[in-house]
Structure 1
Amino acid sequence: MSRLGTRAGRLGRIGLSVVVGAAVGLGVHAVGHTSGFFLFAITGALAGALVAVGLDAYRRSARLTEVKVTVPQLSELTFVVNNDSRQVAWQLFVESVTRVSVQRLDDEDGVLREALTSLYGLFATTRETLKVSRPSTHVSVGMTVECLAVNFLNLELRPFLSRWHPRLRAFEEASPGRPETEWPLAADCRAELRLLQDHARDYLLAFARLAGVRDAEAMIDAPPGHRVRAVVQPRGSVGG
């Protein structure tokens, strides 16, 4: 667009603003000099318009969308989501995708203690997110976002942490100062961690789909240091 066209567009917007402002000013002046029946009629009309705008905004925020998601551990599931549950799914996705829960830990890299600590943090944060969120009372058929999150905690994170945290702690307490590579169960723990990460990836993709995130796989699988831009669909467009 040329500079002349840009300037003309700017002047047009300014002119429209002046006209609208003048109309509003005249309306306020007219209301201020109105009394009796006409004043009540104008006040009632304005109140009705405000109520209509509020109801429309509420309907948009409460609009339900049916989404089908496949989690191999749970088969294909049908969800009914609104903007509140999309926001919860987005928070859970962001919290998980930035942790070791889905980032590969090679045999020669990383520290298992740090991985387990990160998973404990994910467990606590997910639980806290669910505690402060409103339950999905609008769903009569299908699974809710919070139900999927609870399954992730109880079927995936809790069993892994309950199995490996005490064992690693026992090694650390019995052999203070010894490198983790000398732990006899290190290879087994890493193998189960990789399996947990595979399962966590399926849950994260489900959260991403419910939240309306595009290119979620690229975000999850991006190598360290690679910048990936997240794209979230507009509200109400989740599904398909």
Structure 2
Amino acid sequence: MISRTARGRTLRVAAAAVLGAGGATALYTLNEAGGGYAFVLVGAVLGALIALGIDLYRRTARLTEVRISIPQFSELTFVVNDDAQRVSWQLFVESVTRVSIQRLEDDEGLIREALTSLYGLFSTTRDILRAARPSAPGEGLTVEYLAVNLLNRELRPFLSKWHPRLREFESAHPELPEADWPYAAECRSELRRAQAHTREYVIGFARLAGVRDPELMLGATGRDPAV
């Protein structure tokens, strides 16, 4: 299935080719020179090249520099254009609407629910990156860099450690509540840390997308984690 962006780019190229061909035909008619079809062909090619150049300009123009701070890094400088802002907005919306960044106190909720939500966030982030075009080259980091680091530095290590342990307990003791899991307190502590770090990445997505005051949208998740 062709994406809306690809269809739009194809239509722009085709329209430019037609315009170029029309211009070349008019030039040929005015000059009444031989080899008129060559003029038409050259005009079509030039029109298509112009359209491609405009498309490239649209991807690289209006670059915005954004500086953000995230866990394990000092302040980083990113460059974003309209496409990168749209991807950042998608990542922000998918993240902020999940329980994965909602702080889980010792007497609240279920670890299993939080782990499932984190898995969902991992999969969705990967799908969004797969569907998006790579950012155009620029003098800074990209939204892909931020998203991949969220997956590989925060979500993957936590899930790889705790998901198998919890699943083993659930399989061995299906009759016991999750609170009886010997590692429950330790897991919750590390979960809060992972949630706090994930939250900073989510704020980073918001800033790249141009969202004002993303902390207000996150609400109660802004409480400091117990580490």
Q: TM-score, normalised by structure 2?
A: 0.71
1:28-79 alpha-carbon deviations (Å, 9 max, x no partner): xxxxxxxx75xxxxxxxxxxxxx99998787456421111111132111111
Query: Who is 1:69 aligned against?
Result: 68
Question: Is 2:124 the counterpart of 1:125?
Answer: yes
CA distance in 2, matches of 1:56, 1:173: 58
The answer to whether the Cα contact below 8 Å between 1:68 and 1:78 also exists between their aligned partners in 2 is yes
Cα RMSD (Å): 2.7
1:13-32 alpha-carbon deviations (Å, 9 max, x no partner): xxxxxxxxxxxxxxxxxxxx
CA distance in 1, matches of 2:184, 2:140: 40
1:143 Cα deviation from its structure 2 partner: 1.3
Query: Who is 1:104 aligned against?
Result: 103
AA aligned opposite 1:143: L
The answer to whether the Cα contact below 8 Å between 2:60 and 2:136 also exists between their aligned partners in 1 is no
1:113 Cα deviation from its structure 2 partner: 0.8
CA distance in 2, matches of 1:96, 1:105: 16
CA distance in 2, matches of 1:87, 1:207: 10
Query: Who is 1:135 aligned against?
Result: 134
SS of equivalent to 1:71: coil
CA distance in 2, matches of 1:152, 1:142: 18
CA distance in 2, matches of 1:100, 1:193: 12
Task: Considering fraction of residues, name the structure with more helix.
Answer: 2
Q: Which moved more, 1:209-218 or 1:56-65?
A: 56-65
- Unpaired stretches in structure 2, ≥5 consecutive residues: 1-28, 31-48, 222-227
AA aligned opposite 2:145: C
Query: Who is 1:199 aligned against?
Result: 197
Query: Who is 1:78 aligned against?
Result: 77
CA distance in 2, matches of 1:115, 1:58: 41
AA aligned opposite 2:114: A
Query: Who is 1:93 aligned against?
Result: 92
Structure 2 matches for 1:153-232, cutoff 5 A? 153-222=151-220
AA aligned opposite 1:199: H
1:107 Cα deviation from its structure 2 partner: 1.6
CA distance in 2, matches of 1:88, 1:122: 15
1:73-95 alpha-carbon deviations (Å, 9 max, x no partner): 21111111111111111111111
Query: Who is 2:43 aligned against?
Result: none
Q: 1:54 to 1:135 in 2, by over 3 A?
A: closer
CA distance in 2, matches of 1:154, 1:72: 13
Structure 2 matches for 1:40-51, cutoff 5 A? none
Identity of aligned residues (%): 61
AA aligned opposite 1:181: A
The answer to whether the Cα contact below 8 Å between 1:79 and 1:143 also exists between their aligned partners in 2 is yes
Query: Who is 1:42 aligned against?
Result: none
CA distance in 2, matches of 1:118, 1:151: 18
Runs of 4+ off more than 2 Å: 51-63
